[in-house]
Amino acid sequence: MQLDPIRCRSHFPGLRREIAGQRAVFFDGPAGSQVPASVIAAVADCLANRNANDGGLFATSREVGELMDSARLAVADLLGCDDADSVVFGLNMTTLTLALSRALARTWQAGDEIILTRLDHDANVSPWVLAARDAGVHVRYVDVHQADCTLRLEQFDELLTPASKGRTRLVAVGVAANAVGTINPVAAIVERAHAAGALVFLDAVHAAPHLLLDVKKWNADFLACSAYKFFGPHLGILWGRKELLAQIPAYKVRPATDSVPGKWMTGTPSFEAIAGTRAAIDYLASLGQGTAVDGRRSALIRAFAGIRQHENALTVRFLSGLAKLQTYRLWGISDVGRLEERVPTFGLTHQRHSAEELARALGDRGIFSWHGNFYALCLVEALGLEPAGLLRIGLLHYNTMDEVDRLLATLAELQ
């Protein structure tokens, strides 16, 4: 279905911000999106009207329990999983990954191997490196093709240890790259990893606002994402196969339940953030609802089809305009014929100006962007761009063609 960005923008109070008399342009979404009014209202309602802990025998506590159940169902619809009890809430994706990696490492033995990539955010690198260090496990890396910032999948096949030897225990890979926008072929990666007897952990943080997540289709074992990247509050989400989450011994306090998901929620969660996350998913579903009443997952499928179509149109506009600006270099996929291999996140460098200088100049003109390595440290080092890093432009479904044109005109002025 066709997405109307103007209608979408009406839901986001933050987008009304002005800088020096001009409407601000939010191209900083990869570091955190703006949130719709319904999310703000849900957070406030939770704090105002049901501010209690879970598990009590009184009204507000029961309502919190109902909130948790309904939020898990919403996340299950977002992820495409059948069992809402396989959804775990936490402080953020990094914290959840650190906890899972530490626990999973207890099942490894010295001499085992894990495979990471040089395209990933460090939250999907360092937790596994630290766990491997403690377990005496060897870490192997899939490199990137510098020309288009895609994974060297032929190398991945070389790194995988055959199932008969059973040495590759885990493959950790991102669904989409947070610095340059590359979409990885995760279904194929999972298939190859499983054939070698390895588990697969997917980092879907950067993909979540752009792509329909589908753990059933991808057949992964674990997936993590963060609500503040898909128009919600700061909250981390971990999904795992329930039998695995039940089997792996978690680090937890003694009174905590041994059942899933309770054993993985180590401490009192942010109920208000959970309420806001449910509201964010319902907002996304509303974009695909129309007159249909066939369930939230179906609405999300239509919504993300519309989001993808709109973001692809923005991408074509940006890439076509950037190609005319000879002083800039785009790191990543630049071919408009390969839109299915990227999300609208763009890493740039300039022949004379540093990424910081460009970000400051854009910010002074009311265009919000980021500079640096964005925790994609392995990638920026592999590209030879550390410590200056990249200028990152990130588009979301609430961005417009006019905003892209304004960005291109400003980049031209800064040449």
Listed by start position, the domains of the chain span: 5-28+295-413, 43-281
CATH topology of domain 43-281: Aspartate Aminotransferase; domain 2 (3.40.640)
Which residues contact residue 412 at a Cβ distance below 8 angstroms, ignoring those fewer than 6 apart? 325
Q: Which helix (DSSP H) or strand (DSSP E) does residue 105 occupy? A: none
Domain 5-28+295-413: homologous superfamily in CATH: Aspartate Aminotransferase, domain 1 (3.90.1150.10)
Q: What is the pTM of this model?
A: 0.97
3-state secondary structure of 394: strand
3-state secondary structure of 395: coil
- Going by pLDDT thresholds of 50, 70 and 90, the confidence category of residue 256 is confident
Assess contact for 143 and 175: CB atoms under 8 A.
Answer: no
Between CA 148 and CA 289 the distance in angstroms is 36
User: Which residues, in sequence order, are bridge partners of residue 236?
Assistant: 90, 226
Between CA 404 and CA 26 the distance in angstroms is 11
pLDDT of residue 165: 77
Assess contact for 370 and 395: CB atoms under 8 A.
Answer: no
pLDDT of residue 274: 98
| Share of residues in the chain with pLDDT > 90 (%) | 94
Between CA 288 and CA 305 the distance in angstroms is 9
- In this structure, what token pair is assigned to residue 174? 């991102």
pLDDT of residue 291: 58
- As a whole number of Å, the CA-based R_g of the chain is 21
Q: Which helix (DSSP H) or strand (DSSP E) does residue 10 occupy? A: none
5-28+295-413 with 43-281: one CATH topology? no
pLDDT in tens, 229-242: 999 999 999 999 99
Between CA 326 and CA 317 the distance in angstroms is 16
Instruction: Report the pLDDT averaged over residues 306-324.
Output: 98
